[in-house]
Chain A
Amino acid sequence: MFNYPVLLSGDVDFMIKGIFSYNCFGNEVWITTTHVCTLIVMLLLIVFALFANRAVKKANTDEAPGTFLNIVELLIDFLDGIVNSVMGKNAAKFANYIFTLFLFIFLSNISGLMGLRPPTADYGVTFPMGVITFGLITFNKFKHQKVSGVIKGLCDPWVFWIPINLIGDFAVPISLSLRLFANVLSGTVMMALYYGLLPIFVKIGIPSFLHIYFDLFSGAIQTYVFCMLTMTYVSDAIGAE
């Protein structure tokens, strides 16, 4: 079997591994499994985007769209529907970010199907996404509610609630990223245990339903939840106006 650290197989083994290290201004920097898998996912997304771009540009409005164009339209319709239903009139501004987030997280989550270790099973990948969401929330809060509105929101029921409200604000990115990370990690661990401890079942094709549950179902749900919560928090921050 493959013995490359990127692939999930062999022993019970789901930890992140360093592939090689190099010196960067005196610090030792490791290129790990996560980097390689993220690059593969990005490469797939870029190729998909290039093909989609070409298909859309070449599209002829007089005839029925081809298979690939149909799939792209289906995807955009679906994502547009989600963003529109949550954010309403602000949808156009955030649709691009949500699309990117959705595609990246979804492809990362289901990359277990391709034999990769999902990049989202690394806290170093999900935490930055949580931080980006936090930045969006804070920026939009200050932009749309002004400083007075933010201060008013902080001492919501009473002035002494400020620390609790602050903790609540800072818990958002942490809980958001931990939820995604732990869900994908649990799937990865289960698959690694299955592959490592029950090798006889692997040979007769049993793990497919586990893959469907842990990679496809759980991955899709968590992607949906991450995007949904991001949109909800951001539109909360924008307020009704």
Chain B
Amino acid sequence: MNISGDDFIRGCSAIGAGLALIAGIGPGVGQGIAAGHAASAVGRNPGAKSDVTSTMLLGQAVAETTGLYGLLVAMLLLFVKPLLK
């Protein structure tokens, strides 16, 4: 079987896209830690529930950014195919 150069690059791009999504581990762990601490904070001080929730959501959304960069790299590799040009 002959594999042309373009096909090889496409396959490698798909593998690279899969590898890029390993970046999702970090935000997952980080968001889980943030949610856990927020839960314990609400347990200690139930009156501050709304403040704790909004702070937690803001922090989680910022922590998510690195994972989204991984997603963007995967998207670029799969659909824009920068390596093929």
What residues of chain A have their CB less than 8 Å away from a CB belonging to chain B? 15, 175, 178-179, 182-183, 185-186, 189, 221-222, 224-225, 228-229
Q: Flag if A179 contacts B64 (CB, 8 Å).
A: yes
Contact of A182 with B61 in the complex, beta carbons under 8 Å = no
Give the chain A neighbours of B75 by CB distance below 8 A.
Answer: 185, 189
Q: How far is the CB of B53 from chain A (nearest CB, A)?
A: 11
Alpha-carbon gap, A183 to B65, bound state (A): 9
Nearest 3 pairs between A and B by C-beta? A182-B68, A225-B61, A179-B65
Complex interface: chain A residues within 8 A of B62 (CB): 179, 225, 229
Which residue on chain A has the smallest CB distance to residue B59?
A225
Query: Interface majority SS on B: helix, strand, loop or mixed?
Result: helix
Chain A residues with CB below 8 A from B58, complex form: 224-225, 228-229
If A15-B79, A185-B75 touch, does A178 touch B68 (CB 8 Å cutoff)?
yes
B71 touching A182, Cβ below 8 Å: yes
Q: Are B57 and A221 in contact (CB under 8 A)?
A: yes
Give chain B interface residues in 45-85, CB to chain A under 8 Å: 54, 57-58, 61-62, 64-65, 68-69, 71-72, 75, 79
Do residues B57 and A179 form an inter-chain contact, with CB atoms below 8 A?
A: no
Q: Given A178, A225, A228, which contacts B72 in the complex, CB threshold below 8 Å?
A: A178
User: Which B residues contact A (CB, under 8 angstroms)?
Assistant: 54, 57-58, 61-62, 64-65, 68-69, 71-72, 75, 79
Q: Could you say which residues of chain A place their CB within 8 Å of the CB of B79?
A: 15
A-B contact pairs, 8 of them (CB 8 A): A15-B79, A179-B68, A183-B64, A185-B75, A224-B54, A225-B62, A228-B54, A229-B58
Are A179 and B61 in touch, CB under 8 angstroms?
A: yes
**Could you say which residues of chain A place their CB within 8 Å of the CB of B61?**
179, 221-222, 225
Check A175/B65 contact, CB under 8 A, given A182-B72, A186-B71. Answer: yes
Do A224 and B64 touch across chains, with their CB atoms under 8 A apart? no
Interface residue from A178, A228, A229 paired with B69 (Cβ < 8 Å): A178
Which residue of chain B is the closest to A222 with respect to CB atoms?
B61
Residues of chain B with a CB closer than 8 A to A228's CB:
54, 58
Contact partners of B54 in chain A: CB under 8 A: 224, 228
Task: Give A224 to B69 CA distance when docked, in angstroms.
Answer: 20
A185 and B68 CA atoms in complex are apart in Å by 10
Query: Contacts of B71 on A, CB cut-off 8 Å?
Result: 182, 185-186
A186 touches B68 (CB 8 A): yes
Residue of B nearest to A232 (CB): B58
- For B70, the closest partner residue in chain A by CB is A182
